[in-house]
Amino acid sequence: MPSRRAERQAFTVGKGLFPTYHPAVTMSFFLTAVCFAFCSMQPVYVTISFVMASAYLVFLRGWRILGRQLRWLAPLALFIALLNSLFYAAGATKIWSWGPFAITLEGCLYGVFMGIMLISVLIWFACYNEVMTDDRFTYLFGRAMPTTALVISMISRWVPTMATRGRVIYDAQESLIGARDTSRKARTARGMRMASVLVGLGMEDSIQTSDSMRARGYGVGKRTSYASYSWHPREKCALIALASLVVLNGVLMYVATVQFAYYPTVSPLRPWWGYAPYAIMLALPFLVEMEAIGR
């Protein structure tokens, strides 16, 4: 069982205690959050998922990161709402019409909540990237799927590395010759040059990685992991509680979803106790932090 000092150190990194739980617990939570977010377009469930995902991202990274995410996600959600309203005018309440195209209130609401659902899923993935690091993912799937886990881990590292290098190369080229020649031909040449440099760096990294893996005996014996995670009573309780809430919320979400419809008219929403278990399930990371602070 981790000491209070270890728990206190976990809080100082700004990510709380939940990321220190066994990878199976954290992976199960995020799979549950994403799957449930996809399973229902009922407005209350969509709103709860969005609020809890945003709150957890703020807890992990702060308001500024959430703002950066919403800066490009919000226009995407509005675009989806507009497309749905234009090409699926099945609602009874018309707002605007022109020839074969029509915008209905029901279509707008369906598109808006579809966009919010997409935003909440992407925010959950942003939280996942903060909690489920490469070593935790490799520990969890390295023995069952060693090749797949290794490829996913390498890709997750390669993409941000190449993006950072691309920005460095672009800034270097702009500082050297960008002010002298801003024509389209020059910009295209700089882009091709940057791509060539990135490909060369990527191939060099691949050779170094393969040599390092071969020197360390990769694939010779049984795969091991430098990280070791053991099961504690609190983690077992969290996993059991999560499984129980999954079963309960699966039934409640089905009941709420079949009783709600956007077309031809939007069904009325009424207060219902069944929303509370869903909020509690998505608040598991916060409940873990509260339990640790209480001790």
Provide the domain limits for residue 150: 143-215
Rounded Cα distance, 289 and 18, in Å: 7
Boundary (domain end) residue, out of 157, 192, 215: 215
- Cβ neighbours for 293, distance < 8 A, ≥ 6 positions apart: none
pLDDT at position 36 over 80: yes
The per-residue pLDDT for 10 is: 42
CA–CA gap between residue 277 and residue 219 (Å, rounded): 45
Would you tell me how many other CB atoms lie within 10 Å of the CB of residue 58?
A: 16
183 with 41, same domain: the answer is no
| Residue 138 resides in a domain | no
pLDDT classification of 232: cutoffs 50, 70, 90: confident
Q: Is the domain of 48 the same as that of 122?
A: yes
Higher pLDDT, 171 or 283: 283
Q: Where are the alpha helices (DSSP H) in the chain?
A: 4-12, 23-39, 43-61, 63-87, 105-131, 134-141, 146-173, 184-215, 233-258, 275-282, 284-294
Whether omega before 264 lies within 30 degrees of 0, making that bond cis, reads yes
**What pLDDT score was predicted for residue 3?**
46
Instruction: Single out the residue of 201, 211, 213, 208 nearest to residue 161, CA to CA.
Output: 201
Q: Which of 49-63, 76-90, 111-125, 150-164 has the lowest mean pLDDT?
A: 150-164
Measure the CA–CA gap between 124 and 66, rounded to whole angstroms.
11
Q: Are 111 and 35 part of one and the same domain? A: yes
- Report the number of distinct structural domains present in the chain: 2
| Residues above pLDDT 90, as percent of the chain | 19
Element spanning 181, H or E: none
147 and 126 in a single domain? The answer is no
Does residue 221 sit within a domain? no
CA atoms of 218 and 158, how far apart (whole Å) = 20
**Pair 145, 223: CB distance under 8 Å:** no
Rounded Cα distance, 82 and 160, in Å: 32
User: Does 103 reside within a domain?
Assistant: yes
* Domain closes at, from 196, 215, 234: 215
44 plus 105 within the same structural domain? yes
Residue 101 domain-assigned?
A: yes
Are 70 and 209 part of one and the same domain? no
- Whether 4 maps to a domain, the answer reads no
247 and 115 share a domain? Answer: yes
Residues 61 and 197 in one domain: no
Entry pTM: 0.71
Q: End of a domain among 188, 215, 242?
A: 215
User: Both 200 and 58 in a single domain?
Assistant: no
